[in-house]
Amino acid sequence: MKFLTEYRNPELVKHYLSEIEKTATKPWNIMEICGGQTHSLVKNGLLELLPKNVRMIHGPGCPVCVTPISLVDKAIELMEKNAILCSFGDMVRVPGSKKSLLQAKADGGDLRILYSPLEAVKIAEQNPEKEVVFFAVGFETTAPSNALSVVHAQKLGLKNFSLLVSHVLVPPAMEAILSDEFCNIDAFLGAGHVCTIMGTSEYFPLAEKYKIPIVISGFEPADLLEAIYHAVVQLEKGEHKVENCYTRLVKDEGNPAAKNVVNEIFEVGEQEWRGIGKIPESGLVFREKYGDYDAFRKFNIKTENIVEENRCIAGDILKGIKKPFECPEFGKSCNPGNPLGAPMVSSEGACAAYYHYS
């Protein structure tokens, strides 16, 4: 397959591994932000193949893992009040404080698992007597299609469609990690798909302020190793540049059409991250003029502080402080069949990656 198999080429992988080994003279901690990249690193055995002094730290880039627990509870409450709740599949097994969306469905709730928010618009059109709420979770990558669903619902004049939004933004999360007094990250791998939408400009002030290399990477083994190699080269030279190693998709300006539709519907606001807490200006919230489509306003939803299952150390996992196997519950009382926390459920969660592949 073009643009895929060539980035899994074993010779290319060996070449980058050998270059990293030759270049890295000191210990370096490199954080990959995105959970998709974490899965690729673990699944392809790259963590074992990298030299011991190049340590990968897994970041908070799993949108499902950072969605507040109280929001899962509120989504369930909407189902219990007879709304049709629509969601992507990766959210449905994430534990809320009492149950998951899937368990709520088993209890009689109307949960629809969809591939696109536009399908939810269609469901709202077909069910005018019911409220239809799409659980809009994700990073910059899913925001454009969610924003577009509002544009479509407005064009159709739908009054029974809304989004329960938990949109998080990558650069503020990176800044929160970097400003933590215990931060030991030397370089970042930027998430290629986020930059495909947002472009590269938001990374320059971060690289400059924290004197840290940021290398934008794809997801295949050779993509990741190429980006790690570039990060190591910068670190060894004492540089802190933004570099784009995912040029087959990422343009400096990103995707202007996608950014325009997001900016039309949403604005930047404070966001709570599960396991991390509130980060200012780190999420997307509805603009006032689209408030009719905001489930928070429509159903007067207030998020609450809910204490997590106290055996789960997801916060430390998401901040890169601990690795999944350092959690005493990993693979014992917590496993994909019986998850105690979101990182064990999600297809991008670090605990799930280690459980399945490590």
Q: Which residue from 65, 63, 57 is spatially nearest to 345, judged by alpha carbons? A: 65
Q: Does residue 330 touch ligand SF4 according to CB under 6 A?
A: yes
Residue in 94, 121, 215, 344 binding ligand SF4, rule: CB under 6 A: 344
Interface residue with ligand SF4 among 14, 81, 98, 311 (CB under 6 A) is 311
- Site residue total, ligand SF4 (CB under 6 A): 16
Record the tokens describing residue 105, joined without a space. Answer: 């469905």
Q: Judged by CB, which is closer to ligand SF4: 269, or 331?
A: 331
Question: Hey, which residues does 314 pair with through a beta bridge?
Answer: none
| 134 sits near ligand SF4 (criterion: CB under 6 A) | no
How far is Cα 276 from Cα 316, in angstroms, rounded to an integer? 8
Residue 318 binds ligand SF4 (CB under 6 A): no
Instruction: Assign 286 to helix, strand or coil.
Output: strand
Nearer to ligand SF4, 216 or 342 (CB): 342
Contacting range for ligand SF4; rule: CB under 6 A; set: 55-63, 76-84, 115-123, 334-342: 334-342
Alpha-carbon gap, residue 326 to 153, rounded angstroms: 46
Q: What is the dihedral of CA 293, 298, 304, 307, to 10 degrees?
A: -60
Among 313, 319, 348, 353, binds ligand SF4 (CB under 6 A): 313
φ/ψ (deg, to 5) at 281? 50, 40
- By beta-carbon proximity to ligand SF4, the closer residue of 32 and 140 is 32
Applying CB under 6 A, does 312 fall inside the site for ligand SF4?
A: yes
The Cα 59–Cα 348 span in angstroms is 11
Stretch that binds ligand SF4, among 74-82, 204-212, 243-251, 336-344 (CB under 6 A): 336-344
Distance CA 272, CA 279 (A): 6
Nearer to ligand SF4, 242 or 344 (CB): 344
DSSP structure string for 290-349: GGGGBHHHHTT------PPPTT--HHHHHTTSS-GGGSTTBTTTBBTTB-SSGGGTSTT-
Please report how close the Cβ of residue 311 comes to ligand SF4 at its closest, in angstroms.
6
Helix 221-237 / helix 10-23 crossing angle, nearest 10 deg: 20
Are 294 and 162 in contact by the 8 Å Cβ rule? The answer is: yes
CA 47, 53, 54, 58 torsion-angle sign: positive
Q: Say whether residue 69 binds ligand SF4 (CB under 6 A).
A: no
**351 binds ligand SF4 per the rule CB under 6 A:** yes
Between 221 and 343, CB nearer to ligand SF4:
343
Asked if residue 59 lies in contact with residue 31, where contact means CB atoms within 8 angstroms, the answer is: yes
* CA neighbor of 30 nearest in space, from 330, 201, 236, 198: 236
Tell me: does residue 22 bind ligand SF4 (CB under 6 A): no
Residue from 75, 279, 327, 353 that binds ligand SF4 (CB under 6 A)? 327
Q: Which member of 76, 172, 324, 348 binds ligand SF4 (CB under 6 A)?
A: 324
171 binds ligand SF4 (CB under 6 A): no
Q: Is 186 in the site for ligand SF4 (CB under 6 A)?
A: no
353 binding ligand SF4? (CB under 6 A):
no
Q: Does 334 bind ligand SF4 (CB under 6 A)?
A: yes
340 contributes a contact to ligand SF4 by CB under 6 A: yes
From 19-27, 28-36, 38-46, 343-351, span contacting ligand SF4 (CB under 6 A): 343-351
Residues near ligand SF4, by CB under 6 A = 311-314, 317, 324, 327, 329-330, 334, 339-341, 343-344, 351
